[in-house]
A and B are shown apart, each in its own frame.
Chain A
Amino acid sequence: MATTGDGAPRLGLARRFCIYVLEARAQFLSLARTPGFTIPTLVFPIMFYVFFGVVMRFSPLAPTFLLATYGVFGLIGPSLFGFGVGFAAERDSGALLLKQTTPMPVAAYLLARVATALLFGMAIVLGLFLLGAFAAEVTLYRGQWFALAGVVLSSVVPFCALGLAIGAWVKAQSAVAIVNLVYLPMAFLSGLWMPISLLPTLVQDVAVVFPAYHQSQLALKVVDMDQGGSVGVHVLMMGVFTVVFLVVAGFGFRRAGQT
C-alpha cells in the first residue's frame, strides 16, 4: 500500500473528484451485476419483513420493531459482503494490485466500497419503510423516520470496517463462508431477527459483545423499543468496535505485505 508515496503524481481537485466518482461507479456496477450479491442482500431483509412484519405479526408493535432491526440487518449485508468478499476477491485475482499501480488514492477505493454499501442500504431502507408504512400501517413522526433512516444507514461505518478486517485476513475462496459465519449468527444472537427479549437470558447477556446488538439498540431507541441502555454507551461501543476492526485490518495488510 505504497501508492501515496512521494513519487505519486499530484492530482487537481476536479480530477481527484472524478477518480472518486468513477471508482465508486465501477464498484457499484460490478456489484449490481453480481446476482449472488444483490439478491440475498436486497431480498432477504425485505422478504423477512413481509413474513414477520406484514403477514404474521406477533404483536401490534411488531411492524415498527422489525423496521428497526431488519433495517440494521439489511445494512450489514452489503457492508460485510462488499468488503469481506469483494475486497478479498479483488486482492486474490490481482485486480487490487493493478489498481495500486494507478495514481488512484487508496481512500477512493475504500470510499467507493462504503458508498456502494450505502446506496444498497438506501434501497433496503426505502423498501422496508414503504412496506412498513403502506402494508403494515406503521406511522412515525417525521423526525423519527429521518432518525431511524440515519441510524440504520450509519451502520455502514462499523460493518464496512468489520468487512475490511475479514477481507484482509481471509482468502477469496473462504471469504463467503467466513462472512456468512459472522453475519447470520451475529444477526440472530443480537436480536435482529426476533426481539432479543424473547431469546434465552444467556444469549441476552452475551449479545453485548456483538456490534449488531448495539447498532440495533440505537435504532430501536428511535421507536422507544430498546432495552433501555444509554445512547452514549451504545455509540461508544460502536466507535470502539470500528477502531478495533480497522486495527485488525491494518495488521492483516501488514502481514500480506510481508509475504
Chain B
Amino acid sequence: MTGPVRTVARSATYVGLTIVVFVGVLMALPEPAPPEDAADALPEASFAIVRVTVFDGERFRPEQEVRVEDGRIQGVGRWLALPPDLPRVDGRGKTLVPGLIDGHVHTFGSTLNDALRFGVATVLDQFSDPQLVASKRAARDTLARGDEADLFSAGMLATAAGGHGTRYGVPVETVGGPDEAPAWVRARKQEGSDWIKVVHEDGSTFGMDIATLDRHTIGALIAAAHAEDLRAVVHVSTLEHALEAVALGADGLVHVWRDALIDEAQAARIAEAGVFVVPTLSVAASIGGDALEGELLEAAGDTPLSPMQRQTLASRFPGGDEERVSNAGDVAIENVRRLHAAGVRLIAGTDAPNPGTASGLSMHGELRLLRRAGLSGADTLAAATSVPAEIFGLDDRGAIEEGRIADLVLVDGDLENDLSLSPRIVAVWKDGYRVDRSRVHQERPQTQSASPAPETTLIADFEDGIGAAFGFGWQVASDRMQGGSSTGRLSVESGALRVEGEVAAGFPFPWAGTIYFPGAQPMQPVDFAGREVLRFRTRGDGRTYMAMLFGAGGSASVPAGVPFTAPPDWVAVEIPLVRFPTDAPGVIGGLAFVAPAPPLGTFAFEIDDVEIR
C-alpha cells in the first residue's frame, strides 16, 4: 500500500499547492489606487466618491461608492462599476451625508449662501418677504451651478394686526378674523407660498403682551390651507398654544415650547395626530442665554464666516422675564426628549439668523442639541435630511440614493460614532457642483484706504457741546441709512451726550442712535493701529444697547456690534477692540452707539468720555 499512499500524498500536496498559488494570486491582484484627491478641482458635475461611509437618509453604510452624473446621484453601492476616467474623491475615513435641510430659517442678506457653505443645501423658510422668495424660487428647479441653498418658503405669515412678525420691516398683510382666512390663504397660494405659517404668540414667554390670532381664526386658516391643498404650520411658544394648534388640525409646530414640560399623554396625542415638530433648539438655547457661539466658532475652524453670520451669532435676544428665560434651553430639550420618546416626527431647524445663531453653521449646533435630547446619531441626521424631505414632499433630495439630486456633504470623520464632528466639512456639492466654501457671497463695497489716527486717545468729553477731538464728528444714525424708519435725536446736557429716539419697524434689524466719524468725511476710515480698547461712560433707561464699528467698507458693510447696558447711574464700559466681530477692528469708518430692536419703541441714554486707547 505504500505506493498508492505516496501517490495520494503527492497528489494531495499538488492540489494544496495549487490552492495556495490560486489564493496567493488573488491576494496579489491589483486593487483600485486611492484617488488623488480630486475634490479640490472638479469643474463638472460628474464624479465619484469612493470608499466612503454613506448616511443614506436612514442608516450608515460603510465602504460605499457614490457616483454622480450631471448633478444627480447615479449609483450607490459597495462595488460600483466606475468608468476609469471618472474623477474620484477619496472617501476613506469620511462620512457622506445628504445636503442638510434646515426646517426653520428666515431669508435675507447672505443667509442662503451662508447656509450652503456649511452643508445646508435646502432651507424651509418660515416667513420672509414674498418678493424675495419669488426671486429665489427658480433656482430650486434647475441643476445649474449656484452658490445658494434651495429655498422653499411659507412666504408671508398669518398674524394679528400688531402681532409677532409685523415688526421686522417686511410689510405683512394681517388677518382680522376667521372670515378673512380663505381669501388670505388663496392670496398666499397665488404669491407662491409652499405652505402656510400661522403665528400663535402672545409674547408671554418674553414677559410681553402682544396681539395674537384667536383660536377661531387659527382654525379657519388651517382649514383654508387644507382646502387649498397646502400644509399649515403654527408658530407656538407655550405648551397650551401647542396643544391648541394640534387640536385645530395643524400639520406641524415650528418651535418647541419653553414654558412647561409636556406629559406623556399630551405627547402621545401629538404623535397620534401625526403632527411634526421643528423644535428650533438653537434659538431656545439663545433665549435661555446658552447660545452656542463659542462652540460653533470653534467648530467653524478656518472656514470663513460672512459678516452677517458673525454678527447674528454674536448678538443676543434682549432679556425678558428672567426666571422663565434662564432655563428655556433645558425645558425645550426635555420637551424634545419626551416628544421623541412618544414617536413624534422631529425636523431639525435653527430659526437662523435670529440672535445667537448663524445661518448654516447653527445647523451643526442644532444637531448637537438634538443629540442632547436623546436622539440617536442616525435619528438626528434623518431629522435634518430624509424626514423633512418626506414630510414636505421633496422627494428629489434628503437621501443618498439613485436619482436624487447630488446635494452632498463630505465630512472628515466617522459621524456614526460621533455626530459632533459634523462641522468638519471637507466638501459640499450642490446639484453636483463643488461649492466654494472659502468665498463668502457678498457684494463687497469698495474699500477706502485708511488714514492713521491722531496721537490723542480721547475722542470726546462733551464739555463744549457735541464736538470731538478730531474727525467729522457725531451724527444721528439709524437704520434709515439702510432703508429703515427708526429715528434719533442728539443733545448735550451737563457735559454728556444724550441720545434718544424711537426704534421703528421697517428694516430686518431696526436700530437707532448716534454715530461718530473719525475721518474727515463720513465713513472715511481711520486706522487705530496699536489701540486695544474702546472706553466710555454711560447711563440711561436700563435697556441693552450696542456699540458698533463700521469698518473700511463704509455704510454698506454690515456693522460689527458688542452689547452693553445703560443703567440709571453712570458706569464705565470698556470693550476690547478684538471683541468686535470684524476682520480689522482697528480700521474704523464709524463708531456707533445704538439701540437695537427688539424691543421697538422709544429709548434714551447718555454717553461721555469716549476713548479709543
Please, how many angstroms separate the alpha-carbon atoms of A217 and B79 in the complex? Answer: 15
On whether the beta carbons of A145 and B29 are closer than 8 Å, the reply is yes
Cβ of B139 under 8 Å from chain A: no
What is the 8 Å Cβ interface bit string for chain B, positions 1-41, against chain A (1 contact, 0 not)?
00011011001100100110110011101111100000000
A18 CA to B11 CA in the complex, in Å?
A: 10
**Which residue in chain B gives the minimum CB-CB distance to A134?**
B30
Q: Distance (Å) between the CB of A7 and the closest chain B CB? A: 23
Asked if A95 lies at the interface with its beta carbon under 8 angstroms from chain B, I say no
| Across-interface contacts of A61 in B (CB, < 8 A) | 81, 83-84
A64 and B81 contacting across the interface, CB-CB below 8 Å: yes
Closest chain A residue to B83, Cβ basis: A60
Q: Say whether chain A's binding surface is mostly helix, strand, loop, or mixed.
A: helix
Q: How far is the CA of A61 from the CA of B19 in the complex (A)?
A: 29
The reply to whether B8 and A18 contact each other, CB–CB distance below 8 Å, is yes
* Chain A residues whose CB sits within 8 angstroms of the CB of B83 once the complex forms: 60-61
Q: Are A22 and B18 in contact (CB under 8 A)?
A: no
Chain B residue numbers with a CB within 8 Å of A225 are: 81
CB contact between A224 and one of B4, B12, B33, B77 (< 8 Å): that residue: B77
> Is A149 interfacial (CB-CB < 8 Å)?
yes
**Complex: A61 Cα to B80 Cα, angstroms:** 12
- Do the beta carbons of B4 and A129 come within 8 Å of each other? no
A133 to B152, CA, bound (A): 50
On whether the beta carbons of A133 and B30 are closer than 8 Å, the reply is: yes
Contact indicator A133/B29 (Cβ below 8 Å): yes
Contact of A139 with B79 in the complex, beta carbons under 8 Å: no
Q: Are B25 and A126 in contact (CB under 8 A)?
A: yes
Q: Which residues from chain A contact B12 at a C-beta distance below 8 Å?
A: 21
Q: Report the minimal beta-carbon distance from B516 to chain A, rounded to whole angstroms.
A: 67
Q: How many of chain B's residues touch chain A, expressed as a range?
A: 20 to 34
Q: Is B418 an interface residue (CB 8 A)?
A: no
B11 close to A25 (CB less than 8 A): yes
Q: Min CB distance, B49 to chain A, in Å?
A: 15
CB of B81 within 8 A of CB of A126, answer no
Query: Is B85 interfacial (CB-CB < 8 Å)?
Result: yes
Tell me the residues in window 93-124 of chain A with beta carbons closer than 8 Å to chain B beta carbons: 119, 122
Chain B residues near A22 (CB-CB < 8 A): 4, 7-8, 11
Which B66-94 residues sit within 8 Å CB-CB of chain A? 75, 77, 79-81, 83-85
Distance of A155 from chain B, by nearest CB (Å)? 16
Contact between A140 and B7 (Cβ–Cβ < 8 Å)? no
Is the beta-carbon distance between A140 and B32 smaller than 8 angstroms?
Answer: yes
Question: Are A21 and B11 in contact, CB atoms less than 8 angstroms apart?
Answer: yes
Instruction: Report yes or no: A137 in contact with B31, Cβ–Cβ below 8 A.
Output: no
Are B81 and A223 touching (Cβ within 8 A)? yes
* Shortest Cβ gap from A87 to chain B (Å): 22
Compute how far the CA of A140 lies from the CA of B79 in the bound complex, rounded to whole angstroms. Answer: 8
CB-nearest residue of chain B relative to A61? B81
Query: A33: CB under 8 A from chain B?
Result: no
Partner among B8, B21, B84 whose Cβ is within 8 Å of the Cβ of A137: B84
Give the distance in Å from the alpha carbon of A138 to the alpha carbon of B15 in the complex. Answer: 28
Cα A70 to Cα B66 with chains together (Å): 28
Within 8 A of B (CB), among A208-253: 222-225
Closest to A29 in B: B11
Within 8 A of A (CB), among B319-363: none
Contact A139 B31 (CB under 8 A): yes
Contacts of A18 in B (CB 8 A): 4-5, 8
Contacting residues, chain B, for A138 (C-beta < 8 A):
30
The yes or no answer to A166 lying at the interface (CB within 8 A) is no
Q: Which residues of B contact A222 (CB under 8 A)?
A: 79
Query: Quick one: given A119-B18, A129-B26, A133-B29, are A141 and B7 in contact (CB under 8 Å)?
Result: no
The reply to whether A146 and B26 form a contact with Cβ atoms under 8 Å apart is: yes
Q: Which residue of B lies closest to A17 (CB)?
A: B8
Nearest CB in chain A to that of B65: its residue: A224
- Within the complex, the shortest CB–CB distance from A113 to chain B, in Å, comes to 15
Instruction: Tell me the minimal C-beta distance from B595 to chain A in angstroms.
Output: 64
Query: Is there an interface contact between B30 and A141, defined as CB atoms closer than 8 Å?
Result: no
Assess whether A142 is interfacial by the CB under 8 Å rule. yes
Q: If A18-B4, A64-B81 touch, does A141 touch B22 (CB 8 Å cutoff)?
A: no
Q: Is A24 an interface residue (CB 8 A)?
A: yes
Q: Which residues on the A side are within 8 Å of B85 (C-beta)?
A: 60
Q: Which of A1-32 contact B (CB under 8 A)?
A: 17-18, 21-22, 24-25
Is A122 in contact with B18, judged by CB distance below 8 angstroms? yes
CB-defined contacts of B81 to chain A, threshold 8 Å: 61, 64, 223-225
Evaluate contact between A223 and B79: CB separation under 8 angstroms: yes
B132 CB → nearest A CB, Å: 44
1/0 per residue A127-171: CB within 8 Å of B?
A: 001100100011111111110010000000000000000000000
**Contact at B22–A122, with CB atoms within 8 Å?**
yes
**Which among B5, B21, B79, B80 has the greatest number of chain A C-beta atoms within 10 A?**
B79
Q: How far is the CB of A118 from chain B (nearest CB, A)?
A: 10
A149 CB contacts on chain B under 8 angstroms? 22, 26
Nearest to B33 among chain A residues (CB) is: A139
CB proximity to A under 8 Å, residues B360-403: none
Task: Give Cα distance in the complex from A5 to B3, angstroms.
Answer: 29
Complex: how many Å from CA A149 to CA B29? 12
Chain A residue with Cβ nearest B5: A18
Q: Hey, which chain B residues are within 8 Å of A137, CB to CB?
A: 84
Cβ contact within 8 Å between A24 and B11 = yes
Find out whether the CB atom of A140 lies under 8 angstroms from the CB atom of B84: no
Instruction: Write out the residue numbers on chain B whose beta carbons fall within 8 Å of the beta carbon of A144.
Output: 79
A64 — which chain B residues lie within 8 A by C-beta? 81
Bound-state CA distance A83–B273 (Å) is 67
Which residues between 168 and 219 of chain A lie within 8 Å of chain B, taking CB atoms? none
| Shortest Cβ distance from A221 into B: residue | B79
Which residue in chain B gives the minimum CB-CB distance to A149? B26
Cα(A126)–Cα(B75), bound, Å = 30
Residues of chain B within 8 A of A141, CB atoms compared: 31-32, 79
Interfacial chain A residues near B19, Cβ < 8 Å: 122
Query: What distance in Å separates the Cβ of B92 from its nearest Cβ neighbour in chain A?
Result: 12
Bitwise interface map of A from 63 to 84 toward B, beta carbon under 8 Å scored 1, else 0 = 0100000000000000000000
Nearest-CB residue, chain B, relative to A65: B81
B79 pairs with A143, CB closer than 8 A: yes
> Of all chain A residues, which has the CB nearest B19?
A122
Look across to chain A and name the residue whose beta carbon is closest to the beta carbon of B23.
A146
Residues of B129-176 at the interface with A, using a CB-CB cut-off of 8 Å, are none
Q: In the bound complex, do residue A126 and residue B30 qualify as a contact, i.e. CB atoms below 8 Å apart?
A: no
- Contact partners of A125 in chain B: CB under 8 A: 22
Q: How far is the CA of A235 from the CA of B25 in the complex (A)?
A: 27
Residues of chain B within 8 A (CB-CB) of A146 are 26
In angstroms, Cα B5 to Cα A60, docked, is 51
Closest CB-CB distance, A41 to chain B, in whole Å? 17
**Chain B neighbourhood of A122, CB < 8 A:** 18-19, 22
Min CB gap B80→A, angstroms: 5
A143: chain B residues within 8 A (beta carbon)? 79
Complexed CA–CA distance, A140 and B65 (Å): 13
| Minimum CB distance partner of B67 in chain A | A224
Binary interface encoding of chain B residues 532-568 relative to chain A, with 1 for a CB under 8 A from any of its CBs, else 0? 0000000000000000000000000000000000000
For B15, the chain A residues whose CB sits under 8 A away are: 119
- In whole Å, how far is B151's beta carbon from the nearest beta carbon of chain A? 36
- A60 and B25 contact, Cβ closer than 8 Å, known pairs A18-B8, A25-B7: no
- With A64-B81, A140-B79 known, 17 other A-B pairs at CB within 8 A are A18-B5, A22-B4, A25-B7, A60-B83, A125-B22, A126-B21, A129-B29, A133-B29, A139-B31, A140-B32, A142-B26, A142-B27, A143-B79, A145-B26, A149-B22, A224-B79, A225-B81
> Which residues in B have some Cβ–Cβ distance to A below 8 Å?
4-5, 7-8, 11-12, 15, 18-19, 21-22, 25-27, 29-33, 75, 77, 79-81, 83-85
A-B contacts, 19 of them at CB < 8 A, read A18-B5, A21-B12, A22-B8, A25-B7, A60-B85, A61-B81, A61-B83, A119-B15, A126-B21, A129-B26, A140-B31, A141-B32, A142-B27, A142-B31, A143-B79, A144-B79, A145-B29, A146-B26, A224-B75
Q: Which 6 A-B pairs have the closest CB atoms?
A: A224-B81, A139-B32, A25-B11, A21-B8, A18-B8, A139-B30
